Amino acid sequence: MNIKRLLFAAAVLTGIGYFATAEEPPLEWTDPDTGYRVVRLSRGFDSARSFYFHNRPFLAGADGQGDQMVFYAAEHEGEVLQLRVMDLGTFETRRLTSESERIGGEILSPVTREAYYQAGRRVMAVHVDSGAERTVCELPEDLPGSVRTVSADGSRLLGVYADGIRELLRRHPKKSEYFNIIYEARLPNQQFTIDLATGDTRVVQESHDWLNHQQFSPTNPDLLTYCHEGPWHKVQRIWLLDLATGQHTPIHERTVEREIAGHEFWSPDGRAVWFDLQIPRGETFYLTRYDLATGEETRYQHERHEWSVHYNISPDQKLFCGDGGSAHSVAHSPDGHWIYLFEPDGDRLNSTRLVNLKEHDYELEPNAHFTPDGRWIVFRANMHGASQVYAVDLQSR
């Protein structure tokens, strides 16, 4: 993103400077606690949300110039959130979907240049450049699951279905209620693929473990991670699945009671899986790298107050970001509500606070992402009311 164009756009939109009217969140400000410039990317929307932390939302421009970001937004209160694409140089957006029912799926393929989403049992694709939509398939009645991730070559989606989960979620809508209930229910779970050329579905795993957090490798179209979901201290959470061989491989073995590992994500080069490691839960905190070639782990320790709900990695793999946490999160830190930048230093992480999220309600996870040029960290927050999409400029100090 170009900061001169950013400031010019802010001035044009407000007509009076760099700040919007009192009824709207500010368009741009300098965080008084950190000195970093923060901008609101979502403009003219009642609410907006960026993608979940491990779902990459970025795409190069159609002409190879500039970068784009796909996100969700609603123009008016009460409207269904629709997929939109934003030019990160101008903040101009285009609407990609016009569904009347709630849609889900935060899946974008840089190969096909399509975003994939789901409305009921319909699995849809929309081309980011042309806006052309197509129906990939309608999920079978006996497999009405949800799609989660797209393969590196853009040839297939992977989804998951748990028989009976929707009824449990209806009766227990809060995560604090349903998380252990679904784990204890031991529902029949199935992971399945969808061929993007034919729409054919194929079940690739059946289990009574709760299967979740599916992510294809960014480089290997046959390899993905998934998790055994549930209270982290009760599960062997992180797994690899090779679709070519059908082999399931656990990542990280517990060494002490109540040790936990999770919120895993891929390195951009596909050579490693990173995850949050706590030995034991809530006491000693590490960001940990699992090397796929050797199985070796590299751990970077950080302080309790720096723990984040999710971490992410920069495109050059030299830096990390975190979205902090509330006093009710696993770290129980009264001062952990920040967007963080982390830099490895030996076997530790040095942290820099970027944005104060003390007014943010962590029931909405910020889910931070580095932009493709590594200059900005994008996140979502409700610190000014409804959820909006923001970015902090790493070069503003």
Residue 14 has pLDDT above 60, yes or no: no
Give the range among 5-14, 196-205, 207-216 with minimum mean pLDDT: 5-14
Instruction: Return mean pLDDT, the chain.
Output: 94
Q: Is the confidence at residue 212, as pLDDT, over 70?
A: yes
Mean pLDDT computed over 183-192: 97
What pLDDT is stored for residue 28 in this prediction? 97
Q: Rounded to an integer, what distance in angstroms lies between the CA atom of residue 331 and that of residue 394? A: 26
Across the range 79-85, mean pLDDT stands at 97
**Whole-number Å distance between alpha carbons of 225 and 227:** 7
Please check the confidence at residue 9 and state whether its pLDDT lies above 50.
Answer: no
Work out the percent of the chain whose per-residue pLDDT is above 70: 94
What's the pLDDT tens digit per position in 282-326? 999 999 999 999 999 999 999 999 999 999 999 999 999 999 999
pLDDT at 7 over 60: no
Confidence of residue 2 (pLDDT cuts 50, 70, 90): low
The residue whose two tokens read 């159609």 is 62
Statement: residue 123 has pLDDT above 90: yes
Rg (CA), the chain: 21
> Per mean pLDDT, which of 59-63, 146-150, 168-172 is the most reliable?
146-150
Query: Is 70 exceeded by the pLDDT of residue 18?
Result: no
CB 119 within 8 A of CB 101: yes
pLDDT above 50: residue 181: yes
Asked which of 166-170, 185-189, 256-260, 261-265 is least confident by mean pLDDT, the reply is: 166-170
Q: Which two tokens stand for residue 201?
A: 């579905």
The helix/strand/coil state of 5 is helix
Residue with the bigger pLDDT between 346 and 18: it is: 346
φ/ψ of 378, rounded to 5, equals -95, 140
Specify the pLDDT at position 30: 98
Instruction: Give the single-character DSSP code of 78.
Output: T
Residues in the chain: 397
pLDDT at position 176: 84
Q: What is the pLDDT of residue 347?
A: 98
Whether omega before 221 lies within 30 degrees of 0, making that bond cis, reads no
Q: Return the SS3 of 184.
A: helix
* 8 pLDDT higher than 90: no
